[in-house]
Structure 1
Amino acid sequence: MNVSKKSKYILWSTWILMFPISLWTIYSQSDFTIAGYELDLISFLLLIIFLSILPIVVNGTPILFIEGVSLVIFLYFGLFAEIIFSQLAMLALLMKIRIGWKDLYRFPINSLMFLGVSLIGGITYYLLVGTHGDLDMSSGHVLIPIIGYELSKFLGNHSILYYIKRSVYRLKGPYFSKDLIWEAYSKLFHFPIGLLLYILYIEIGLVAVLYVGIPLISLSLILRLYYSSERINGYLQKTSELGHELAGSLDVSSVIDLFNEKTGEMLSVDYSYILDRITEEKLEVIRHVKKDSIQTSTFDPIYKNHGISGNVLASGKSVIYKTRREWEHLGETYLPESVESVLCVPVIRHNRVVAVLVFASNRRRAFEKYQLTTVEILASYLGVATENARHHEEAKRKSEICALTGLYNYRYLEELLDKEFANFQSTSEIQPLSLILLDIDHFKTVNDTYGHQSGNEILIQLAMRLTNMIGEIGTVARYGGEEFVILLPDTDKLTTHKIAETIRQMIANRPFTIHDDLGGGQKIKVRITASIGFATAPEDAEGPLDILRHADRAMYTGAKQGGRNKVAMYVK
C-alpha cells in the first residue's frame, strides 16, 4: 500500500501532538499505582506480548488475542494501564514483523488507532458509571458498563480502521464488510475469556494468568497453524486450477499473460518479470507487469552469474529475499528502487533452465516459503504449457503454410477471409476488401516440356515476386496448383485493377530462370503469362465464398476465355 509523503507527515505530526498530551492527561486523572502489583503487571504484560506476536491474519486483517487480557487490565487497573499495555502489545507486533523505514508510518497509525479505541471504550465505561478494582460480577449494574465498554470499542475500532483505509490507504469498500463479521466473532470469543480471567484473578490471584494464559497461547498457536494450513490449501487449489487453465491454452502469448495475471493475484506482487533464455549465457525480459498492467519497458540482457536471475540461471535453484539489503549487492538492474522482497524461480524443462521468473514486492518479508514452493509448481506448469503451445503453434503454422513456396495455403486463406467478413458485421464504417486470383497460363505445357521440378522452380520464384511486390498491403497465398490469391484489405476496385495489371506485366515481361530437368539440367530462361480476375466486397460479394467464386469467374470468363494474359474484373 502506497502512502504519500504528505500523509506520513500528517500522521507523525498528529501523533507527536496528540499522544503525549493524551497520555499525560489520562495519567493525571487516574489513581494508577504499581506498588504491590509489580509481579502481577509483569505477568499480564508478558502474556499480552506473547499473544500480540501470535496474530491470526484473516482477509488481510490481523486478529489479536490480547483483547481479553486488555479487559482485565482495564477493569482492575484502569484506563491508563490498559493504554500502556495496548501500546506495548502493538509495538511488539510491529517489531515482530520487522517493519522497515519506509513502513515506519505504521507506528503512528496503529498507535493513534489503539489510543482512540481505548479512549472511546473508557469514556463509554465512565459515562455508564463504571469503576475499577475488585468488582462484584454478580451485579447487573457492573455488567452494563462492561458491555457498553466492549461494544463501543468494537464499533470504534471498526470505524477508525475503515476511516484509515479510505483516507490514508485510499482503499474503497463497504462499511459493513467481512472484516466486521470477523471482528464480531473475535469479540464474542474474547469477551467471555476476559471476564473469566478477571473473575479468577479476583478469586485466586496471579495463578489465574497461568490457568487462562497457557490455554489461550496454545489456542493461538493451534489456530495459527490451522489458518496457515487453510491458506496453503487455498494456494494449492488455485495452483491446480491454474495448471488446468494453462494446459488448455494453445497460444504462447496467452499462456504467459494468463500466468502473469493469476500469479500476480495469488501473490499480491508489485512487479513480475519473465526472463527467457535466449542463449546459454544470456536472459532477456520478455514480459514485465507492474501491478495488473503489462509494461513495454526494455531492459538490458542479464548474463549468467550476474544479478539474482543470472545466479538462478547458473544454479537452477530458487531463491527468496526478504529485504533489499540481502540482494542489492547482486545488482539486479531492472528492479525499481522501491523493491524490498524478491522471489526468483527457474523454469526447468528436460533438466535445463529455459526461463526465470521474478516476483518483487515493495514490502519487506512479503513472501513465505510455502509461496516459493507454490511458484516452483507453477513454474513447472508454465514450462510444460509453453512447450505444448509452441508445438501447437508450429504444427498450426506448418498446416497453414505451403511447403513448396512458403506462402500461406488455402486453409489459412479461408480463416483470414472469415475474419475479414466478420469485421464487416462488427463495424459501421465498411472498407472495401478486394481479392485477386491468378492462374498461370499453359502451366501443364511447362511441366511437360521442362519437367515438374522446373515447374516448381517457377512457382517458387513467382511466390517470391508476388510477396515482394505486395509487401504489407495484403496477403499472398497459394490457392492450389498454379493458382495464387492476393487479399487486399481497404483497397477499392480501381486500385486493385492497377495492382493486378502490374502483376500481369511483371509475370509477362520478366522471364523465369529454371533448370531444364528434361534437357540435361542446364539453366534456361522461360517466359510465361497469367490470367487474372478480381472481385471487391461488399459490392461484389456478401461472404467469403462469394468473393472467391466471383474472382474465379472473372478470371475464367473474362481473362482465360478472352485470350489469356489479361486482367478481368467481376461483373454481375
Structure 2
Amino acid sequence: MAVQPKMKKAIFLVWLLLVPAGMWFTFQTFPPHFSGQWLHIFAFLTLTSIVAIMPMVINNTPIFLIQWVSLATFLSFGLFVEMIFAQAAVILLLLRLRIQKEQYFRIPLNLIMFFLVSFLSGVVYYSLGGQTGPNLINDPHSLWLAAVYALVNYSLNQVIITFYLYFIYKSKESYFGKDFIVETITTFITLPLGFVLYMFYNQEGLLALLFVAIPFASLSIIFKLYYSSEKINEYLQKAAEIGHQMAERLEVNGVIDLFIQKLSEMLPVDYAYIFDVVNEDELQLVRRIECGARVQTEIAKFKKNEGISGVVWNKQKGYLYNSKKEWKSYSKGFVPADAESILAVPIVRNKNVIGVLMLASKRKRAYEKSQLMIVDILCSYFAVAIENAKHYELTKTQSERCALTKLYNYRYFEKVLNEEFDKLFQFERKVLSLIILDIDHFKAVNDTYGHQSGNEILSELAARLSKLVGSRGTVARYGGEEFVVLLPEANKEEAFQMAEMIRQAIANWPFTLHQSLELTQQQIKITASIGVATAPEDAEDALALVRHADRALYVGAKRAGRNRVAEYSTC
C-alpha cells in the first residue's frame, strides 16, 4: 500500500507540531510519580525494550504486545513515564523490523498514534478518579478503573489503526480479518500479565520483573520458532505444488514463465534472471524479468567465477546478499542500480550445474535463509521440468518436421488444414487458400548432379519459401519435390500473387550445389509449377481443397508448359 509523498510530509509535520508539545503539556499536567527510583525506571525500560524487539510475527504481521508492560508502567509511575516508554518502544520495534527509507514515515506515524492512545486513555483514567500507584488488591474500585484504562487504551489503538488504513494507506480490505482477531486474542490474554506485574512489583519490587519477564521472553521465542517452522512447512507445501504444476507444462518457455510467476508470488521479486550453462565454461542469460516484464537484451556470456552467477556456478551453492554493498564488487553491471537484496541459486540436475537462478529485490534484507533453502528445492523441480520439456519439444519437432528441410511434414500440415477448415465452418475464418508447388524435371536434376545435390536444392527451396511466407501462413513439405503453403484469410487473388512471387524466387535466382557429382561448386537454375485453390469458393472440405489445388498444378501449370502459376477452375 503506497502512501503519497504529500501525505508523508504531512505526517512529519503533524508529529512535529503535536508530539513534542503534547509531551511537554503532559509533563506539566501529569508529572511523573517517582522519587529517586532510577534503577526501577531503568528496569521497566529494559523490560519494555525486550518486549519491543521481540514481536510475535503471525501471518507476516508483527504483533506488538506492549500493552501489558505499558499498563504496569502507567500504574506504577504515571502517564508521562508510560508515554516516554511507549515512544521508545515504537522506535525500537521499527528499527528491529528494519524498515526501508521509503517507509521512514511510519516512525512519526506510529509515534503520533501511541502518543494519542497514551494521552487520551490516561486522561480518561484520571478523569474517572484514578490515581498513580493504586492498591488493586484491597480496592476493587481501583481495579475496575485500571481495567477501564486498559480497555480504552486498546479501543483507541484499534480506532486509530482503522483510520490510518482507510485514510492514509487507502486500503479497501476489511480491517476485521485474521490479523485483527489474532491481535485481539493475544492482547486480552497478555493484559492480565500487566495487572500481575504491577501487583507483584508492589509486593516484591524489582524481583517481580524477573519472574514475569523471563517467562514472557521464553514464550515469545517459542512463538517465533513455532511460526518459523509453520512458515517453512507452508513453503515446502507450495514448493511441492509448484513442482507438480511445472511437470505438467510441456514447453520450455511455459515452464520458465510459470517458475518465475510462482517465485514472484512467494517472494519479494523485483528482478529475476535465469542463466543457462552453454558449455563447460560459459553461462548465458536466457530470461530477464524486470518489474514483472520480460526484457529482451543482448548480454555477454559469463565465465566461471565471473559475476554473481559465475561465483554461484563455480561454488555450486546458493548465496544470499542482504544489501548492495555485499555483492557490488562481484556484479558485472547488468543488475539495476536500485537492487539491494540478491538471492542466487544453482540449478542442478544429476549433480551437474545446468544453470543459475538469480532473484533481486529493491528492499534490503528482503530474503531469509529459509527462503534460500526453499528456492534451492524449487530449482531442483525446475531442472527436472525443463529437461522433460526439452525432451518433449524435441520429440514433437521430430514428429512434425521434415528432417531434411526442417519444414513441417505432411502429418502436421494435415492437422493444421483440418483445424483451419473447422474455423471456416465456425465463421472464425472467412477464406482459406492453398498453394501446391512441384519442382519441374526434378528427376533430371538428381540424375545429372546426384541425389545429394537434389537434397541441397530441396533444403534451399524450403529456406526461400519460409522467408517469403513468414508468419502469413504455414509452409510444409508435401512429399518428394512437392511443397504446400496454407494461407488463412488470403483470397484467391492474394494467394495467386504469393504463388507468383514464389515462382519468380525459384526461377530467377540460381541454386548453389556444393556436393554435386562434378566435385565442384555449381549453380543451376530450376523452375516450379504451382497450383492455387481457395475455400469455400473452390472446395467445401479439406480433401477437396487439396485435390483442386493439385488439379490446378498438373492441369493448369504442368500441361500448359511448366514454370507457371494456375488457379483452380471448374471449366
**TM-score, normalization: structure 1?**
0.85
Asked if 1:493 corresponds to 2:495, the answer is no
Q: How big is the shift at 1:371? A: 0.8
- Listed one character per residue, the Cα deviations across residues 142-195 of structure 1 (whole Å, up to 9, x for unaligned) are 455444433333343334334444555555422322221122112221222223
TM-superposition CA deviations, 1:330-365 (whole Å, max 9, x none): 345233333222212222335443322222222222
Q: Secondary structure at the match of 2:329?
A: helix
Q: Deviations over 1:418-474 (max 9, x none)?
A: 56557668987x564311123457877887999866765664454355445545543
Residue 474 of structure 1 is matched in structure 2 by 473
Judge conservation of contact 2:288–2:295 (CA < 8 Å) in 1. Answer: yes
Give yes or no for the alignment of 1:71 onto 2:57: no
Partner of 1:38: 38
Give the residue type in structure 1 aligned to 2:229. S
Q: State the shift of 1:228 in Å.
A: 0.7
Q: Distance in 2 between matches of 1:516 and 1:320?
A: 56
Alignment check: 8 A CA contact 1:126 1:145 kept: no
| Whole-Å separation in 1 of the counterparts to 2:307 and 2:522 | 60
What per-residue deviation string (whole Å, max 9, x for no partner) do you get for residues 182-218 of structure 1? 2211222122222333333344443332332222111
Task: Please report how far the alpha carbon of residue 538 of structure 1 lies from its aligned counterpart in structure 2 after TM superposition.
Answer: 4.6
What amino acid is aligned across from residue 318 of structure 2 in structure 1? S
Give the Cα separation in 1 of the matches to 2:351 and 2:199.
65
Is this contact kept in 2: 1:65–1:220, CA < 8 A?
no
In the TM superposition, what is the alpha-carbon distance from 1:387 to its structure 2 partner? 2.3
For the residues of structure 1 that align with 2:297 and 2:448, how far apart are their CA atoms? 58
Alignment of 1:280-291 (within 5 A): 282-291=282-291
8 A Cα contact 2:136 2:199, kept in partner: no
What corresponds to 2:549 in structure 1? Answer: 551
Structure 2 counterpart SS, 1:330 = coil
SS in 1 for 2:132: coil
How much has 1:540 moved relative to structure 2?
Answer: 4.2
Number of equivalences = 570
Distance 1:411 1:159, change over 3 A: farther
Answer whether contact 1:252 1:389 (CA < 8 A) is retained: yes
Partner amino acid for 2:61?
T
Structure 2 residue identity aligned to 1:392: Y
Aligned residue number for residue 15 of structure 1 = 15
Q: Is structure 2 residue 569 aligned with structure 1 residue 533?
A: no
Given the alignment of the two structures, is residue 254 of structure 1 paired with residue 269 of structure 2, yes or no?
no
Q: Which moved more, 1:326-335 or 1:64-73?
A: 326-335
How far is 1:495 from its partner? 2.5
1:327–1:562 distance in 2 versus 1, CA, 3 Å: closer
Superposed displacement of residue 244, structure 1: 1.4
> For residue 188 of structure 2, what is the aligned residue in structure 1?
188
- Alignment partners' CA distance in 2, 1:294 and 1:39: 60
Choose 520-529 or 450-459, whichever is displaced more. Answer: 520-529
**Deviation, structure 1 residue 86:** 1.6
Change (3 A) 1:445 1:185: same
Residue 434 of structure 1 is matched in structure 2 by 433
Matches within 5 A, 1:326-475: 326-417=326-417, 420=420, 430=429, 432-439=431-438, 456=455, 459-460=458-459, 462-467=461-466, 469-471=468-470, 473-475=472-474
Aligned-residue Cα RMSD (Å) equals: 3.8
The residue that corresponds to 2:321 in the other structure is 321
My pick for the range that moved more, 73-82 or 270-279, is: 270-279
Q: Which runs of 5+ in 2 are unaligned?
A: none
Q: Measured at CA, do residues 21 and 449 of structure 1 come closer, stay the same or move farther in structure 2, by a change above 3 Å?
A: closer
| Counterpart for residue 230 of structure 1 | 230
Q: CA deviation at 1:395?
A: 2.0
Give the residue type in structure 1 aligned to 2:220.
S
Q: For 1:387, what is the secondary structure of its paired residue?
A: helix
In 2: Cα distance, 1:568 partner to 1:252 partner: 42
Q: Is 2:313–2:346's contact at 8 Å kept on the other side of the alignment?
A: yes
Contact 2:344 2:359 in 1 (8 A): yes
Aligned-pair distance for 1:223? 0.7
Compared with structure 1, are the counterparts of its residues 172 and 361 closer, same or farther at alpha carbon in structure 2 (3 Å cutoff)? farther
The residue number in structure 2 matching 1:125 is: 125
Cα distance change of structure 1 residues 555 and 124 upon mapping to structure 2, 3 Å threshold: farther
Residue type at the aligned position of 2:482: E
Which secondary structure state, in structure 1, belongs to the residue aligned with residue 272 of structure 2?
strand
**After alignment, is 409-418 or 255-264 more displaced?**
409-418
**Contact persistence 1:275–1:284 (CA under 8 A):** yes
Shift of 1:114: 2.0
Percent identity for Structure 1 against Structure 2: 47
What is aligned with 2:135? 135
Cα displacement string for residues 48-85 of structure 1 (whole angstroms, at most 9, x for unaligned residues): 22222211212332113322121211233222222112
C-alpha change, 1:157 and 1:559, in structure 2 (3 Å) is same
1:374 is displaced (CA, Å) by 1.1
CA distance in 1, matches of 2:373, 2:446: 64
- Quote how far apart the aligned CAs of 1:219 are: 0.9
Tell me the TM-score normalised to structure 2 length. 0.86
Q: Check conservation: 2:34, 2:77, Cα contact below 8 A.
A: no
Amino acid at match of 2:531: G
